[in-house]
């Protein structure tokens, strides 16, 4: 008998199709280095939540509806590689202060709800390629992608026979500036 373990959830910035295509054009150069993240799965995690039960999920949604945070423009201007998770990522040199403020608000909510989270400092990034075993030389690769974040969303990570899919469950607007 299978018990209901809840859903594997995270809060993130999702991207419109234009931004997804922009990122994908840069991402394609890494196709031979590892496994590319599906264009429809591209996102920037704000807070990973893990497995949440129905009650915690509903409380989280209520709290997220109360957030009053400013939208922002983010410029992603460099690629990076992390050895332990074996990923190539895209990131901003200077994260917008509004992004960091939003993440702080979300961490306060998760803490108040007793949701365990990583204690490492937040490092904004967009994972482009997984299972990259050999550290690539990225220093000479130019990138300049900017997007406007006008909402954040709750996503569910769902695995099936075709791989992992990220499904947007609910989104909340950020204030216009």
Quote the tokens at residue 141: 């690769």
Instruction: Tell me, yes or no, if 125 is annotated catalytic.
Output: yes
Catalytic, out of 78, 107, 125, 151: 125
Residue 173: partners with Cβ closer than 8 Å, 6 or more residues away = 71, 150, 151
SS3 110: helix
The structure tokens listed for 41 are 């799965």
- Residues contacting residue 113 through CB under 8 Å, at least 6 positions apart: 56, 59, 60, 63
DSSP character for 122? P
Active site residue 43: yes
Q: Pick from 144, 143, 151, 130: which is nearest to 46 by CA?
A: 151
Which residue shows structure tokens 């993440």? 103
Burial (CB count within 10 angstroms: exposed 0-12, middle 13-18, buried 19+), residue 67: middle
What residues act catalytically? 43, 125
């Amino acid at each position: 008998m299978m018990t209901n373990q809840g859903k594997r959830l995270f809060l993130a910035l999702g991207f419109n199709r234009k931004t997804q295509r922009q990122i994908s054009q840069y991402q394609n150069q890494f196709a031979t280095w590892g496994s590319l993240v599906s264009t429809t799965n591209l996102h920037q995690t704000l807070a990973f939540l893990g497995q949440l039960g129905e009650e915690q999920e509903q409380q989280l949604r209520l709290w997220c509806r109360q957030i009053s945070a400013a939208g922002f423009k983010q410029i992603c201007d460099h690629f990076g590689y992390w050895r332990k998770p074996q990923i190539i990522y895209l990131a901003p040199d200077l994260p917008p202060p509004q992004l960091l403020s939003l993440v702080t608000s979300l961490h306060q909510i998760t803490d108040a709800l007793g949701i365990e989270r990583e204690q490492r400092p937040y490092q904004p990034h967009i994972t482009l390629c997984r299972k990259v075993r050999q550290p690539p030389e990225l220093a000479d690769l130019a990138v300049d992608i900017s997007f406007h974040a006008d909402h954040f969303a709750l996503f569910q990570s769902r695995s099936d026979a075709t791989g992992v899919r990220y499904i947007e469950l609910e989104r909340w607007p950020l204030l216009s500036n």
